[in-house]
Structure 1
């Protein structure tokens, strides 16, 4: 298996520099973690992009739940996406559910169109809150730019979703979007996930010793990087 991808949530340029120094491969840039991550300002993306060399995936989300909102809210997200693309963003994070718990394909397609050709994007943890994971994945299959699912396997986190993640990894086919595990991920989960062939991982608070009120610590990122690069064998 190739070297696992390690993605770290960043709120600003200082977080981004610390994450890169510790060995992160990619950043997820958000604002307002009290709402589980919303779209950052264009100026913040510009500062982060200037501060680091690693790829930066920018969140496109305007509210704390997994609904896209009304037409005006979706239009605002599309405008934000276009502005970020003008600023140089070419990787994004998005994902919306309808009132029945299925994928809101209209909103997803509008955002995918707004980020434009060549952009790549992650469908985030809305998958963990949907009514039917398999149906959602089938509905999203083949959408341009979609290359990753960020998932814990369960709305309650990796502790609960571990068996689902392992099963989905075993069922995956070449060309499927990559499974990136995040949402309550802990170091003790890594051996089983790595043994299952999962090769992408995502953390946020786990690399902030003072919680979300404090910055990313390069040393904490480095500890995770070392665990991923030298996993404990599964007995």
Structure 2
């Protein structure tokens, strides 16, 4: 493969971050409250993780469980606070009641990010029309990644969609990196790498002891080796 695959690991705190870096992660997705599938961490948590590692950090902008934006003023405010603390990469994604992108919310938050790079997260897997959503968002500043399993049910179900989208790389709406995550297993890696997918995202897979245990550097290293060897 010509491109080294990016391995992104979910981190909740500095201990996770240090272990993920030791295992060979390229980037962290920083969240809190995985019981709600990951919400915005505090600026203090961000600062602690930033001080602990020199990896790229993407910080979640999400104030409540689900895929509705909710309090957009609040989202803009926390984005401003995190940027003031030094955050320069983010993760977000909001759907309207019709299952399309909530363009008003996404555009308002993206404007606050002022060109910072960001990921549209797995809300795309709940969208009524993935292709339409990608085209709606195609020209938003900073959007460089889609975190997706290809399906709300996970990678097993979404693999055909992921492979089809990988083939469209470079088309309008498909310039962004596919970052595959959500029920991702090591045995999916060879097929995805062969298709040219170069982004992989792990959460539970980095924690053999479950979410109550910290990230395992050894588990991350196993993924690093699999990605580099695929």
The TM-score normalised by the length of structure 1 is 0.95
Report the 3-state secondary structure (helix = DSSP H, G, I; strand = E; otherwise coil) of the residue aligned with 2:134: helix
**Cα deviations by residue, 1:104-128 (Å, 9 ceiling, x for unpaired):** 00000011011223x1000000000
How many Å separate the matches in 2 of 1:101 and 1:137? 13
Equivalent residue runs for 1:1-235 within 5 Å: 1-69=2-70, 73-117=71-115, 119-173=116-170, 176-231=175-230
Q: What is the alpha-carbon root mean square deviation over aligned residues?
A: 0.8
For 1:28 and 1:179, locate their aligned partners in 2 and report how far apart those are by CA, in whole Å.
15
Q: Secondary structure at the match of 1:148?
A: strand
For structure 2, list consecutive stretches of 5 or more residues without a partner in the other structure.
none
Q: 3-state DSSP class of the match of 2:165? A: helix
Match of 2:211, SS state, is helix
Q: Please identify runs of 4+ aligned residues in structure 1 that moved more than 6 A.
A: none
Task: Give CA-to-partner distance per residue, 1:29-52, whole Å, 9 cap, x none.
Answer: 000000000000010000000000
User: Whole-Å Cα distance in 1 between the matches of residues 78 and 97 of structure 2?
Assistant: 24
- Paired positions, count: 227
Using the alignment, how far apart are the partners of 1:93 and 1:209 within structure 2? 25
The two structures have a TM-score, normalised by structure 2, of 0.97
SS of 2:29's partner is strand
CA distance in 1, matches of 2:48, 2:205: 24
* Superposed displacement of residue 142, structure 1: 1.0
How far apart in 1 are the matches of 2:25 and 2:149? 19
* SS of residue paired to 1:63: coil
SS in 2 for 1:106: helix
Deviation at 1:209, TM superposition (A): 1.4
Q: Deviations over 1:71-90 (max 9, x none)?
A: xx111111100010011100
SS in 2 for 1:228: helix
CA distance in structure 2 between the partners assigned to 1:195 and 1:47 by the alignment:
37
Cα distance in 2 between the residues matched to 1:178 and 1:207: 22
CA distance, structure 2, for counterparts of residue 115 and residue 184 of structure 1: 29
CA distance in 1, matches of 2:73, 2:191: 42
Deviation at 1:137, TM superposition (A): 0.3
**Alpha-carbon displacement from aligned partner over 1:121-168 (angstroms, at most 9, x marks no partner):** 000000000000000000000100000000000000000000100010
Q: Deviations over 1:155-195 (max 9, x none)?
A: 00000000100010001117701100000000010010000
